[in-house]
Structure 1
Amino acid sequence: MSGTAMTREKIDAAAAARLAILASATFVYVTFEVFPVGLIQDIARSLDVSAGAVGLLISGYAVVAGIVTVPTVALASRVSRSTALVVSLLVLVAGEVLAAVATSFPMMVVSRVAAALTHGVLWSLIAPAAATLVPRERVGTATAAVFGGSTLAAIVGSPGTTLIGELIGWRATALVLAGVTVAVTFGLVWALGLRGGTARTAAEEGREPAVPATGQRRAYWPRVLFLCGVAVVLITAHFLSYTYFAVLTADITGTSGAVVVLLTVFGLAGAVGTWLVGRHNDTAPQRTAAVTIAVFAVGIGLLALAPALGGPVARSAAAAAAVALWGGAFAAAGPVFQTGVMRLAGQDADRASSLYVTGFQAGIAGGSVLGAALLGHSPLWLPVVSTLLVLLVLLAVLTRRPVPAVEPDE
């Protein structure tokens, strides 16, 4: 198909509906991943443990997900991608129900481990699955749409479960979330269909990014690893500061009341960033990556400079602007790197995505640990070190140009 003909292809209504279902799957997964955040005190009192112990449910989730992603994705390759995705949601339902009936902290830990076991399967396969629903030159748009579910979880999912939990209790809220996940699972069956067999079907593979040409095939795995490594540094830089968002922003603005407002700004900016990257990631992926990381650096750098400004109004305004740039860029970075990994790996996209997801979880855990160490000295060190790491990523993106074009073999 010629490039002229390809540019005329659009994402039709049926494909858009299926992408919405896939985005809903990422929405429910991320909502449960961060479920303890807004209800941490209620859960701690109910299970008779400290708030710090409940906080470990989040970092522990990331560690488990990072360890098991590669082997579970390899196991999932024995069945069709659609089957693996549906099973991952069913395991999530089991984890949500177990959380609802947990009468002890160990039972709550088991519920989190259960969900973490298939976290990597869903995140490794969801973007490649989206790629099969759209024309090849729209893969970046489809990836951004699917990642929009995780952005929506930050805007609606986490605050929503917190609000519902305050009204009906955290256990009943976990059951509500399980019911939503069941509905999404049925939607996923419709969107992708359950296909048997031990290999990817022709329908699943037909529109995936092509395998690189012979001359490039030997080199694409080092490029995948390099791109994943760059992403790990960026995720570390993000979670180094984001994990302690409440402490950092309260220290800058001088009031804890600003935290909720700034979190809302972060989430809304993420929605804008996801929309923008969907418009440009297919036409100019390398430039999109460079602009995204540059905006990330400006945002987190401004947050580092905010405490040096004059009065509380100036500091609060600077913090709001910084959080908006940071939130928008971080939401855009995920689709940029995920799409780049898929394009480099071609029909090895599932395996490459599993490495990317593993790196993502390593970044979460590593950033949280490094942030905790820096927090003991001063909250200001968090955005300062984050900025240095993001600048390192920007240097790598500008000099090595690791993000591939839409069709590297043509």
Structure 2
Amino acid sequence: MPFALYFLALAVFVMGTSEFMLAGLLPAIATDLNVDVAAAGLLTSAFAISMAFGAPLMAALSRRLPERTTLLSCLLLFAISHATAALAPDYVLLLITRILGAVSNAGFLAVALNTATRLAPAHLKGRALAILLAGTSAATIAGVPAGTLLGAHVGWRSVFWVIGSLCLPAIVAVFMAVPVSRAAGAPADRAPQLITELAELFTPRLAGTMLLAALVNGGTFAVFTFIAPLVTTTAGLAEPWVPLVLVLFGLGSFAGITVAGRVSDRRPVAVLATGGPLLLAGWIALALLAERPAALLALVFAQGFLSFALGSTLIGQVIHAATGAPTMGGSYATMALNAGAALGPVLGGITLSAGFGLLAPVWVAALLVALAMLISLVAPQLLGPRPRR
């Protein structure tokens, strides 16, 4: 695999840490800024919504620019937004910085997804995406728990300072590793018109696959965003267990992405058809057994594995379905992921505020995955091409 993929994964690790880290910092942010936990959880939804809309916008603006120029600009804006967040005196300014950080993250990931699939051989595109998205799972293994521990001992603002600082080596790595000669996604003289690429969004295969990816990711984020109170209150574990649970989830997600990356190039339908029912069963089991610490820990690892195996495979299918949009395909995958990442915390926060209890986000996850399965049963062609007889 091209070495540039690993440097892109480093930058995705930094950005993924920022995207996920609020799961362990919500109580501290809510207390410091005098808002409730549900309102603090909306910071995650705002980040995801901004990524969902920012991905196609940034991809459209940068489609004629060199990949490296776009990637470096997004990293720089990301660093500035986090330095500002560390100084934010109130909830509104913190929300604005999260939106700016999300837009820059979206632009980076949209271009990086295209870059990864372009640099890899045709028969290894799934593995290339797995390497890139491994930065996300590494963020849940190391970045998010470390941020949670740092926030608990030094304060949540220190975590934003560290994320901003980590952008500097990522900027150097991308500058050195990513070639400058190519436009973002396709050579300028061969890329289709923007209107042609946007029209791909209305094709049933692409739109349907994006919907499936959004539903699965929505379930993941519905639980992940509110996992801290689930650990400390429902399971009755002490506060230091929260980062350990996040590590377990991250280890599961890393294993899931790794396995799916090696299988999805050859058997994407098998991964999706098997992983969907298992993921649904896992969310139901978690809702029923979360009060038992041992069961909670085992299921967190299992759900991390299944969520990211299924999610990364669906992302590969989105990019495969968007072959008619070479400069915008990565943004469509980013849009699908983050539409789910916005939907999940919103629905989880609504159910929490309505008084359905701390397990309500887990049931939301189960319902979203069940809906995805129902859609895939009604329209099985969305799961990908069937092998020829």
Aligned pairs (5 A) from 1:15-164: 15=2, 17-40=3-26, 48-50=33-35, 52=37, 54-164=40-150
Which residue of the other structure, out of 285, 288, 305, is the alignment partner of 1:305? 288
Task: Provide the C-alpha distance between the structure 2 equivalents of 1:166 and 1:135, rounded to a whole number of angstroms.
Answer: 44
- 1:393 matched to 2:355: no
Partner of 1:5: none
Partner of 1:211: none
Partner of 2:194: none
Which residue of the other structure, out of 329, 332, 336, is the alignment partner of 2:313? 336
Task: State the Cα distance separating 1:100 from its structure 2 match.
Answer: 3.4
Task: Provide the C-alpha distance between the structure 1 equivalents of 2:63 and 2:43, rounded to a whole number of angstroms.
Answer: 29
Task: Provide the C-alpha distance between the structure 2 equivalents of 1:390 and 1:141, rounded to a whole number of angstroms.
Answer: 25
Task: Spell out, residue by residue over 1:221-260, the C-alpha distance to the aligned partner (whole angstroms, 9 max, x if none).
Answer: 3201110011122222222333222333445534455544
Partner of 1:279: 262
Task: Spell out, residue by residue over 1:45-64, the C-alpha distance to the aligned partner (whole angstroms, 9 max, x if none).
Answer: 66x54364554432222232
Task: Provide the C-alpha distance between the structure 2 equivalents of 1:259 and 1:174, rounded to a whole number of angstroms.
Answer: 19
* Sequence identity (%): 27
Name the amino acid aligned to 2:35.
Answer: S
Which residue of the other structure, out of 354, 357, 372, is the alignment partner of 1:378? 357
- 1:174 matched to 2:160: yes
Structure 1 unaligned residues grouped into runs of 5+: 1-10, 206-216
Name the amino acid aligned to 2:356.
Answer: H
Task: Provide the C-alpha distance between the structure 2 equivalents of 1:218 and 1:19, rounded to a whole number of angstroms.
Answer: 27
Corresponding residue SS for 2:265: coil
Task: State the Cα distance separating 1:124 from its structure 2 match.
Answer: 1.8
Corresponding residue SS for 2:282: helix
Q: 1:103 to 1:250 in 2, by over 3 A?
A: closer
Partner of 1:365: 342
Task: Provide the C-alpha distance between the structure 1 equivalents of 2:27 and 2:366, rounded to a whole number of angstroms.
Answer: 32
Name the amino acid aligned to 1:182.
Answer: L
Q: 1:106 to 1:246 in 2, by over 3 A?
A: closer
Task: State the Cα distance separating 1:85 from its structure 2 match.
Answer: 1.8
Report the TM-score, using the length of structure 1 for normalisation.
Answer: 0.80
Q: 1:368 to 1:68 in 2, by over 3 A?
A: same
Task: Provide the C-alpha distance between the structure 2 equivalents of 1:322 and 1:198, rounded to a whole number of angstroms.
Answer: 40
Q: 1:218 to 1:231 in 2, by over 3 A?
A: closer
Corresponding residue SS for 1:348: coil
Name the amino acid aligned to 1:356.
Answer: A
Corresponding residue SS for 2:357: coil
Task: Provide the C-alpha distance between the structure 2 equivalents of 1:227 and 1:56, rounded to a whole number of angstroms.
Answer: 26
Name the amino acid aligned to 2:382.
Answer: P
Q: Indicate the structure (1 or 2) with the bigger Cα radius of gyration.
A: 1
Task: Spell out, residue by residue over 1:356-388, the C-alpha distance to the aligned partner (whole angstroms, 9 max, x if none).
Answer: 322332222222222223331234444334323
Task: Provide the C-alpha distance between the structure 2 equivalents of 1:138 and 1:31, rounded to a whole number of angstroms.
Answer: 26
Structure 2 unaligned residues grouped into runs of 5+: 192-198
Contact 1:151–1:267, Cα closer than 8 Å, also in 2: yes
Q: 1:251 to 1:226 in 2, by over 3 A?
A: same
Aligned pairs (5 A) from 1:200-239: 200-201=186-187, 221-239=203-221
Partner of 1:7: none
Q: Which moved more, 1:84-93 or 1:145-154?
A: 84-93
Corresponding residue SS for 1:201: coil
Corresponding residue SS for 1:193: coil
Task: Provide the C-alpha distance between the structure 2 equivalents of 1:198 and 1:155, rounded to a whole number of angstroms.
Answer: 30
Report the TM-score, using the length of structure 2 for normalisation.
Answer: 0.84
Task: Provide the C-alpha distance between the structure 2 equivalents of 1:250 and 1:164, rounded to a whole number of angstroms.
Answer: 18
Name the amino acid aligned to 1:273.
Answer: G
Task: State the Cα distance separating 1:328 from its structure 2 match.
Answer: 0.5
Contact 1:220–1:344, Cα closer than 8 Å, also in 2: no
Which residue of the other structure, out of 254, 261, 275, is the alignment partner of 1:292? 275
Partner of 1:240: 222
Task: Spell out, residue by residue over 1:8-59, the C-alpha distance to the aligned partner (whole angstroms, 9 max, x if none).
Answer: xxx3xxx1x311111111111121224444445655666x543645544322
What is the RMSD computed on CA atoms of the aligned residues?
Answer: 3.3
Corresponding residue SS for 1:402: helix
